[in-house]
Amino acid sequence: MQQQEILLAGGKTNLGSIVRVGDTVRRPLNHNSTFVHKFLQYLENINFDASPRFLGIDEQGREIISYIEGDVPSNVGYYSDEQLVAAAKLIRCFHDATQGCPLTNNEEIICHNDLSPCNFVFIDDMPTSIIDFEMAAPGTRMFDLAYAAWLWLDIGNEEISAEDQKRRLLIFTKAYGVSNTDILIKTMTQRQQLLVEEAIRRQKPCMEKWAKSALQWTKREFSHLISTPNSQYTIPHS
């Protein structure tokens, strides 16, 4: 008897084509699928338990990924200090797990590249797992972390005061283990600019407007936090 397919939300490129079948998720293959499958197998081999497992390809040519029970947010929002700490610590564990992966190609780590709250599974209102690895690729901790901070704090949301965002940013970076925010803020503006350019290229005016607004807010409210022009960041051993 064929199991029912339940449509799932999520994914930047596969929206509307990701389904749950029993305890698995089925999604179309893309140009990055082979890398992602190898990476998920690596995470399984090292017993990193906060990510799905790659289970194979089904008869329709879709990848089969294990389904992780829990709640997945449909959008960014205002997350509590406790949730920010849990997310940052989970991201740190993920990054530490990828350091030394044979797939890094001499880069620092494997980046998820879309560490939005919408790609985390929550249990009892706390983030416990990371999903949707379709954009994973070699990169740096700061490139991944800066984007995560932007989305988890909802940087650019005018309803959240600059003072509160500065406080929350320090909570997030401290939980991850970054002692200063100079490089993170610089990298955040770079990632915001990249998303503006991507939105223009893909003709996504709403995305372009949102990313431009976040970029302007970050430059206006956080520029004074960048104290050292050529500062470097260090990640202490966990």
Given a cut of 60, whether residue 14 has pLDDT beyond it is no
Write out pLDDT tens, residues 131-186: 999 999 999 999 999 999 999 999 999 999 999 999 999 999 999 999 878 899 99
- What is the mean pLDDT of the segment spanning 186-199? 96
Residue 121: strand pairing partners: 129
Mean pLDDT of the chain: 91
Alpha carbon 166 to chain centroid, angstroms: 20
pLDDT band at 124 (very low <50, low <70, confident <90, very high): very high
Residue 46 near residue 100, CB atoms below 8 Å: no
Considering only CA atoms, which of 176, 71, 167 is closest in space to residue 124? 71
The percentage of residues in the chain with a pLDDT greater than 90, rounded to a whole number, is 83
pLDDT band at 51 (very low <50, low <70, confident <90, very high): very high
pLDDT band at 38 (very low <50, low <70, confident <90, very high): very high
Q: Tell me the CA end-to-end span of the chain in Å, nearest whole number.
A: 48
More confident residue, 176 or 238: 176
Given a cut of 80, whether residue 236 has pLDDT beyond it is no
Write out pLDDT tens, residues 75-120: 899 999 999 999 999 999 999 999 999 999 999 999 999 999 999 9
Write out pLDDT tens, residues 194-204: 999 999 999 99
Local structure of 110: helix, strand or coil: strand
Given a cut of 90, whether residue 23 has pLDDT beyond it is yes
Residue 137: strand pairing partners: 111
pLDDT given at position 235: 58
Residue type, 186: K
Considering only CA atoms, which of 233, 238, 109, 107 is closest in space to residue 178? 233
pLDDT band at 74 (very low <50, low <70, confident <90, very high): confident
More confident residue, 12 or 155: 155
C-beta atoms surrounding 154 within 10 Å:
18
pLDDT band at 11 (very low <50, low <70, confident <90, very high): very low
pLDDT given at position 234: 54
Of 107-111, 122-126, 178-182, 223-227, the least confident = 223-227
